[in-house]
């Protein structure tokens, strides 16, 4: 079964990715990256235990840690710390809102104090010329998907396409990373994330990263000047210690 082509992107063609990095460095501080992944590890260990062999979410976290050059000893320390009684009990909470010029924004947080987090996120929206909304006010404009980014070296893309359709493949195409290097991007529905991860593992394919992302169904066109305004709000949100990821539909 072939996936239908759309006006915006073509299956087995160029993957359309909304990029913030063209306007400012995404998680440009290594400490922020390590902190984010450390929280992901804590949540994964709490949900499925400390053994990556039996915990697919933890395997994904370890892959992502390696992709940002997180040292092995820090990964192991994060797993060990997550098992301790003194470990903070992080909860993942999604906040929704609008930035300047009608741009929809989703904020994924991992927090041990939701009262503090919601107050901070609301303040960031207000100071950045936006407004925080209620649950469901923005997320309907996005699809929650599993996104795997692979190095193209040694891959037969056509064969891989046919093999992965049965594992929930929705989109596959070429793109580039923030440094301009070619990559292959695979997208699957959120419920098929585990199936796709297993399929890649069975084929000895180790992704550069494997993330759950909110992909916009449509984008809001903005001028360069307007994009800069929105980007300042997004950057403010990303710098908050409780924020894991920020997604938007700015075109």
pLDDT in tens, 39-84: 999 999 998 999 999 998 999 999 899 888 899 999 999 999 888 8
Same structural domain, 95 and 123: yes
Same structural domain, 95 and 149: no
Q: How far apart are the first and last CA of the chain?
A: 30
Q: What is the CATH number of the domain that holds 185?
A: 3.30.70.980
Q: Over 50: is that where the pLDDT of 1 sits?
A: no
Same structural domain, 128 and 230: yes
Report the alpha-carbon distance of residue 102 to residue 60 in Å, rounded: 34
pLDDT tens by residue, 236-251: 999 999 999 999 999 8
User: Where are the alpha helices (H) located in the chain, listed in sequence order?
Assistant: 30-48, 56-67, 72-82, 114-127, 157-164, 193-202, 224-238
Tokens 């809102």 sit on residue: 97
Same structural domain, 232 and 127: yes
pLDDT tens by residue, 153-186: 999 999 999 999 999 999 999 888 877 889 999 9
Domain that holds residue 57: 30-82
Same structural domain, 125 and 230: yes
Same structural domain, 73 and 170: no
Provide the number of structural domains found in the chain. Answer: 3
Same structural domain, 69 and 168: no
Q: How many other CB atoms are found less than 10 A from the CB of residue 25?
A: 11
Same structural domain, 147 and 202: yes
What's the mean per-residue pLDDT of the chain? Answer: 87
Same structural domain, 35 and 122: no
The Cβ-side half-sphere exposure at 65, using a 13 Å CA radius, reads: 25
Q: Is residue 24 part of a domain?
A: no
Same structural domain, 74 and 177: no
Same structural domain, 172 and 232: no
Same structural domain, 148 and 206: yes
């Amino acid at each position: 079964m072939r996936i239908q082509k759309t006006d915006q992107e073509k299956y087995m063609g160029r993957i359309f990715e909304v990029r913030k990095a063209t306007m400012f460095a995404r998680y440009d501080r290594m400490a922020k990256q390590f902190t984010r992944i450390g929280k992901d590890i804590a949540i994964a260990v709490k949900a499925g235990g400390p053994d990556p062999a039996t915990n697919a979410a933890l395997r994904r976290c370890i892959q992502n840690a390696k992709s940002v050059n997180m040292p092995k000893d820090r990964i192991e320390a994060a797993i060990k710390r997550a098992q301790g009684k003194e470990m903070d009990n992080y909860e993942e909470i999604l906040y929704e809102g609008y930035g300047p010029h009608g741009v929809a924004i989703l904020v994924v947080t991992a927090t041990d104090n939701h009262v503090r987090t919601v107050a901070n996120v609301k303040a960031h929206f207000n100071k950045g010329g936006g407004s925080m909304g209620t649950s469901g006010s923005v997320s309907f404009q996005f699809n929650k998907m599993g996104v795997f980014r692979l190095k193209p070296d040694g891959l037969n893309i056509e064969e891989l396409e046919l093999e992965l359709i049965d594992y929930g493949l929705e989109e596959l195409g070429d793109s580039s990373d923030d440094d301009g290097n070619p990559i292959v991007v695979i997208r699957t529905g959120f419920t098929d994330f585990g199936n796709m991860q297993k399929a890649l593992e069975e084929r000895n394919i180790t992704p550069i990263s494997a993330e759950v992302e909110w992909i916009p169904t449509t984008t809001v066109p903005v001028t360069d000047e307007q994009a800069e305004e929105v980007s300042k709000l997004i950057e403010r949100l990303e710098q908050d210690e409780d924020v894991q990821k920020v997604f938007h539909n700015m075109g």
